[in-house]
Structure 1
Amino acid sequence: MAIDIRRRLWDLINSAWLKMSVREQRLWESVRIDPVKWSQSPYGDLGGGFWAVGVIGRIVVWYNDIEDGFNCSHYSSYGQIGEYWCNQDDLDISVRKLLGRIDDGYDLAPFVGPPRPGPYPG
């Protein structure tokens, strides 16, 4: 099963690279790492996987195979994702957001947070 996930992940990475601008490709080539499984508690404790695919400073670019999307989060210990997001972005969007953080000093779009127990507040 891990082989299928890795194959799918590489397909997503390669597909996203083709959609990136030259600036985004340059950034991606500077931060990318071979996919490696990282942990995230408590959501990673439930199963599935979180795959780090890029690191810059204290930010990790990661793929959530439960939500089927990429996210950028802070981390304090290498191998441990500190913030859980479920944006379900394509990698090129996550890299674009990361470039925005570098260029502008803030996130270009909101992040979708983890699930919250209880009734819907609407």
Structure 2
Amino acid sequence: MDWQPITESQIWDKILQAEARMNPEQSRLWSAIKILPQKWQQTPYGTEGNGFWVVAILGELVLWFNDIEDGFNVSHYKKHGEIEEYWCNQDELEWAVQSLLNLIQQGYTLPKCSPPIAG
């Protein structure tokens, strides 16, 4: 089976499904931070698929979809267009939005799954 990067149409399907599941608090934050999906680079894991879809920005954080692992993640960025950290969570969009709510309201985020570690 050959892996194929997710298309823009497919990322929109995931976003629309998640919006229908969001509670009012998640929905309010989502409305404030969402952007039109755009591909951002991430080295080395994002190279093969020509980047990952970023769907929201909050300060120095981006909310993006890891189509290798099939889940949404929150990472830092320093330069627009480049995801600094690779995470392999398999979170639904509303869970990632909740993680940002937790950060704003209580100062913590949900746990993150790291990339493969050699050795």
**TM-score relative to the length of structure 1:** 0.89
Is 1:98 the counterpart of 2:87? The answer is no
Q: Report the Cα offset of residue 115 of structure 1.
A: 0.7
Is 1:69 the counterpart of 2:71? The answer is yes
Q: Report the Cα offset of residue 25 of structure 1.
A: 0.3
Structure 1, unaligned runs of 5 or more:
none
Q: Report the Cα offset of residue 9 of structure 1.
A: 0.6
Give aligned pairs, total.
Answer: 115
Give the % identical residues: 48
| 1:37 corresponding residue in structure 2 | 39
Q: Report the Cα offset of residue 51 of structure 1.
A: 0.6
Q: Report the Cα offset of residue 7 of structure 1.
A: 1.2
| 1:84 corresponding residue in structure 2 | 86
| Corresponding letter in the other structure for 2:101 | L
Structure 2, unaligned runs of 5 or more:
none
| Corresponding letter in the other structure for 1:21 | N
**TM-score relative to the length of structure 2:** 0.91
What is the CA–CA distance in structure 1 between the aligned matches of 2:81 and 2:106, rounded to whole Å? 27
Q: Report the Cα offset of residue 42 of structure 1.
A: 1.5
| Corresponding letter in the other structure for 1:79 | G
Q: Report the Cα offset of residue 68 of structure 1.
A: 1.2
The higher radius of gyration belongs to 1
| 4+ residue segments displaced more than 2 Å | none
What is the CA–CA distance in structure 2 between the aligned matches of 1:20 and 1:96, rounded to whole Å? 9
